[in-house]
């Protein structure tokens, strides 16, 4: 297991962690959350052994193989397939030794035996599966890494980390550069991962479907919560509510003591009592008030005037040069429109958004804007177009030179650019801060149509929630491409499917879309494409099939839940024992009997936990095979 005891981490004058403790058991899937700059990535560096804590100890089993997702990749000329295979360091070591063995038959026999033990001969096929799952097209495997854009290189880093056989997998924002299809594939892969997983992510649905424990970095501590992100939210809300009640009671007690001191301090007969109250006040631990308000409070104010339709495409042919991607597109955007675009990677979702925005001309057909059409367009190239030498305030002032400074300050403050931060050049802004600024620029212009292409990339959980709430209140039209399912569920009421060269209405929800994707994958090798390229979804039939499958799997899922409950109880009790064993007083002679009892219980419970975990894996595999 991983044991962090009394850890302190300081960067400059700022403490990231202070006397923090954490125990992680084998096989647990941990979601690591916290505000930007709280120390999540630094904690990863410590687990990787790249930095040391200022105080305390960080113990990771020496025999554990650790895989992690790098955030950068150089301009290497290695092929994408070779780059992914490099993640299996044992495979590469054996290949080098075989090349060096020459004609040494005994040595070669031994090395080839080791290759068989690590399933080396299936490695290229497994690497191809990873590339396919993460959205790479056939033929991409032979392209040099340097050919790919930054986002696709990050996907290669992710594939390399998944290729590495590991006992501990560390993933930092793995979905940032993924579309919805690749996110769903990764989610399923990680659900099957048998090792210990620690993942930093701001995608709440992604976390909910993978993790079984949440660790929150807050107030320089590592707060451990049982369950997924939604469970964490409930537990933290209860904790803060109790904290607020305690705080209010404490404030009443403090007020009462201070009043007593004021009234009786000067009286000789009461002086001793007053002094005791002063000491009580000094000893009393101050309970911080429960600040749960988000640092973001912005909204998208809609333009005063509307027209219907706001934008219309008739008989549209969409593509680049002589290549048509989407055929015969008919789409009308009215003020009530709230659309989420679904479809495989490369099917044309971003191209459709660009055409609606007017930045990509139609190859054929007509695109017309309403009289009062006013666009707000967010895409990743908007971040690159920001003037890094200018401040956030200057970006706003360039659009509205007449705006008062205080008005600009107040507006940027709602996006958490406070004080002088709003007037600093954005050169050193993080990706999240640049994304917030791009959204602020859109909000300042008061559009009546919002076109959002992956707006949540780089945004933390608080900002994503604030964006979701702002979109809910927006009175204009919204068209979104996003891998953030929570955002989609809460901001759109209609889905369009962009696939096979067509744009058609998708009669279903996100769960139906997952099933449609699975059907497409199953039928792709064996079925010829229909002459009607518009995918049809029989929603009722899909739900009946899903219900029948759930009923069939019910005994196994119930068994899985019972095992999870047992594991949770065993892990909780072992954590309690670990906590008691970490107290030095337990080793005093007077506590000898209690110490022996704890050690005996620990010896009994650990094999039980391991057996539960093995059974859990077996049942999970049965469910997966039957699904």
> What number is the average pLDDT over the span 279-307?
68
Q: Which bin fits 424, alpha (ψ -120 to 50), beta or left (φ > 0)?
A: beta
Token pair recorded at residue 219: 């107030």
Residue 276: pLDDT band (50, 70, 90) is: low
d(CA 480, CA 471): 10
**Predicted local confidence at residue 379, as pLDDT:** 87
Digit-coded pLDDT (tens) for 512-563: 888 888 888 776 654 344 434 444 445 555 555 555 655 666 777 778 778 8
User: Looking at the predicted structure, is the pLDDT value of residue 287 above 60?
Assistant: no
Least confident of 207-211, 222-226, 254-258, 416-420: 254-258
Say what the pLDDT of residue 390 is. 92
What local confidence, expressed as pLDDT, does residue 476 receive? 92
Mean pLDDT of 425-436: 88
Q: What number is the average pLDDT over the span 259-288?
A: 60
Residue 381 has pLDDT above 70, yes or no: yes
**CATH 3.40.50.300 assigned to 2-94+122-233:** yes
Q: Look at residue 541 in the predicted model and tell me its pLDDT.
A: 57
Domain boundaries of the chain, sorted by first residue:
2-94+122-233, 234-283, 311-537, 560-626
The string of pLDDT tens digits covering residues 102-151 is 888 888 888 888 888 888 888 899 999 999 999 888 888 898 888 887 78
Pairing relationship of beta strands 477-481 and 338-342 according to DSSP bridges: parallel
170 has pLDDT over 70:
yes
* pLDDT level of residue 436 (50, 70, 90 thresholds): very high
pLDDT at 12 over 60: yes
pLDDT, mean of residues 64-68? 92
Percentage of residues in the chain having pLDDT higher than 70: 87
Residue 392's CB is within 10 A of a number of other CB atoms, namely: 26
Kindly list the distances between the CA atom of residue 80 and the CA atoms of 127, 162, 182, in Å, as whole numbers in the listed order: 10, 14, 17
Other Cβ atoms less than 10 A from the Cβ of 210: the count is 24
Quote the pLDDT of residue 266. Answer: 63
Task: Compute how many other C-beta atoms are within 10 angstroms of the C-beta atom of residue 233.
Answer: 16
Confidence at residue 529, expressed as pLDDT on a 0 to 100 scale: 40
Sign, Cα dihedral of 253, 254, 257, 258: negative
Mean of the per-residue pLDDT values of the chain: 83
CA dist 568 and 621 (Å) reads: 20
Position 617 pLDDT exceeds 80: no
Alpha carbons within 13 A on the beta-carbon side of 419:
1
Share of residues in the chain with pLDDT > 90 (%): 32
Whether residue 365 has pLDDT greater than 90: yes
Q: What distance in Å separates the CA atoms of residue 457 and residue 236, rounded to the nearest whole number? A: 25
In words, the CATH class of domain 311-537 is alpha beta
The pLDDT value recorded for residue 399 is 93
Q: Does the pTM of the predicted model rise above 0.85?
A: no
| pLDDT at 291 (0 to 100) | 42
Spatial separation of the C-alpha atoms in residues 427 and 387, rounded to whole Å: 8
């Amino acid at each position: 297991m991983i044991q962090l005891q009394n850890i302190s981490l300081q960067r400059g004058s700022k403490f990231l962690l202070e006397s923090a403790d954490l125990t992680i058991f084998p096989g647990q899937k941990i979601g690591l959350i916290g505000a930007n700059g709280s120390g999540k990535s630094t904690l990863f560096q410590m687990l990787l052994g790249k930095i040391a804590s200022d105080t305390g100890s960080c113990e990771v089993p020496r025999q554990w193989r650790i895989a992690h997702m790098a955030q950068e990749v150089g301009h290497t000329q290695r092929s994408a397939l070779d780059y992914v295979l490099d993640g299996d360091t044992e495979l590469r070591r054996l290949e080098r030794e075989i090349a060096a063995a020459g004609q040494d038959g005994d040595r070669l026999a031994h090395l080839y035996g080791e290759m068989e033990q690590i399933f080396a001969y299936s490695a290229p096929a497994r690497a191809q599966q990873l590339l396919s799952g993460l959205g790479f097209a056939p033929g991409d495997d032979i392209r040099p890494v340097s050919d790919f854009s930054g986002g696709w290189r990050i996907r290669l880093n992710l594939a390399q980390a998944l290729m590495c056989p590991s006992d501990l997998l560390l993933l930092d924002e793995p979905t940032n550069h993924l579309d919805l299809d690749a996110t769903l594939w990764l989610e399923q892969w990680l659900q099957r991962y048998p090792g210990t997983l620690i993942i930093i992510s701001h995608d709440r649905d992604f976390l909910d479907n993978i993790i079984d424990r949440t660790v929150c970095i807050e107030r320089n501590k590592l707060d451990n919560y049982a369950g997924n992100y939604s469970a964490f939210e409930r537990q933290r809300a209860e904790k803060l509510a109790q904290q607020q009640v305690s705080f209010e009671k404490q404030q009443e007690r403090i007020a009462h003591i201070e009043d007593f001191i004021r009234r009786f301090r000067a009286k000789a007969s009461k002086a001793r009592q007053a002094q005791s109250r002063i000491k009580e006040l000094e000893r009393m631990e101050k309970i911080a008030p429960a600040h749960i308000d988000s640092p973001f409070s912005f909204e998208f104010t809609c333009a005063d005037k509307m027209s219907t339709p706001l934008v219309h495409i008739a008989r549209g042919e969409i593509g680049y040069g002589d290549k048509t991607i989407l055929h015969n597109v008919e789409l009308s955007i009215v003020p009530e429109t709230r659309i989420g675009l679904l479809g495989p990677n490369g099917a044309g979702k971003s191209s459709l958004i660009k055409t609606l925005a007017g930045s990509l001309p139609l190859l054929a057909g007509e695109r017309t804007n309403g009289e009062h059409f006013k666009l707000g367009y967010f895409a990743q190239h908007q971040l690159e177009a920001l003037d890094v030498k200018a401040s956030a305030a200057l970006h706003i002032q360039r659009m509205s030179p007449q705006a008062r400074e205080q008005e600009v300050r107040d507006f940027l403050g709602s996006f958490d650019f406070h004080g002088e931060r709003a007037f600093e050049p954005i050169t050193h802004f993080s990706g999240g801060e640049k994304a917030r600024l791009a959204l602020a620029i859109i909000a300042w212009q008061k559009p009546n149509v919002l076109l959002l292409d992956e707006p949540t990339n780089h945004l933390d959980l608080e900002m994503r929630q604030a964006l979701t709430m702002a979109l809910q209140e927006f009175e204009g039209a919204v068209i979104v491409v996003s891998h953030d399912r929570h955002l989609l569920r809460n901001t759109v009421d209609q889905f369009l499917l962009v696939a096979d060269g067509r744009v058609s209405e998708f009669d279903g929800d996100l769960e139906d879309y997952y099933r449609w994707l699975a059907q497409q994958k199953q039928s792709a090798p064996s079925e010829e494409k229909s002459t009607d390229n518009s995918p049809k979804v029989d929603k009722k039939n899909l739900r009946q099939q899903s219900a029948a499958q759930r009923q069939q799997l019910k005994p196994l899922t119930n068994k899985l839940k019972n095992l999870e409950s047992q594991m949770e109880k065993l892990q909780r009790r072992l954590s309690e024992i670990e906590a008691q064993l970490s107290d030095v007083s337990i080793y005093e002679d007077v506590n000898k009997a209690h110490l022996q009892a704890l050690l005996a219980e620990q010896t009994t419970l650990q094999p039980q936990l391991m057996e539960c975990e093995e059974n859990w894996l077996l049942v999970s595999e049965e469910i997966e095979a039957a699904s």
